[in-house]
Amino acid sequence: MLNPIREEKFRHLFQILDRNYDGVLTRKDFEQVIQKITEIRQWKWGTSEYEELNFFLMGFCDRLQVWADRNGDGKITEAEWLWYLEQMLDRFEASYIKRAFINISIQIMDFSQDEQVSLEEFQKFYQVYEIDAEEAHQAFLHLDLNQDGYLTKDELKTLLNEFFYSENPQSPGNWFWGNPGVVQI
């Protein structure tokens, strides 16, 4: 069973990924994320960046359909999502999920392609999920572990690991997708 703090973070992420706000994750939600990212990043269909993004997100969507859609209706409910994450992260230690999230996140966020993410780049990333610039700024302040004004790949690894596994309400990684309400400020 998921710890309440982790469960709240995963519920928050579910709400962010549910792009049409209908309470379920479907292929359409992932297609909308791809469309928004490619608009913001100005990636064109057929480029390596577009193909990698599409491969990752649609592959993740397909895995959800196979493993999380317990009733086979083509929709992932919040309960199915939570069950899936518990199984994959706690029982199978799915490190490939974390690695993939890190790699695709930095690729999406790193507009300057300098292997680090600035506040401005982070705010553009948040635009994909319709999270406002002020929340992005607050999140970035918590996520920038060494307070140098950038998120590096190493920081992202630490932060995503905390997001997926930390049961501490003070963990900076809880802020990766904004404040899910479990963080004590």
84-115 confidence digits (pLDDT tens):
988 888 766 666 666 777 777 788 888 888 88
Q: How far is CA 113 from CA 28, 52, 152, 178, in A?
A: 29, 15, 12, 23
- Tell me, what's the pLDDT at 89? 81
3-38 confidence digits (pLDDT tens):
999 999 999 999 999 999 999 999 999 999 999 999
Instruction: Please say whether the dihedral angle defined by the alpha carbons of residues 92, 79, 81 and 9, taken in this order, is positive or negative.
Output: negative
49-89 confidence digits (pLDDT tens):
899 889 988 988 898 899 999 999 999 999 999 999 888 88
**Maximal CA-CA distance, the chain:** 47
184 against 7, higher pLDDT: 7
Question: Which domains does the chain carry?
Answer: 9-93 (1.10.238.10), 112-166 (1.10.238.10)
| pLDDT bracket for residue 183 (50, 70, 90) | low
Comparing CA positions, the residue from 69, 77, 72, 73 lying closest to residue 18 is: 77
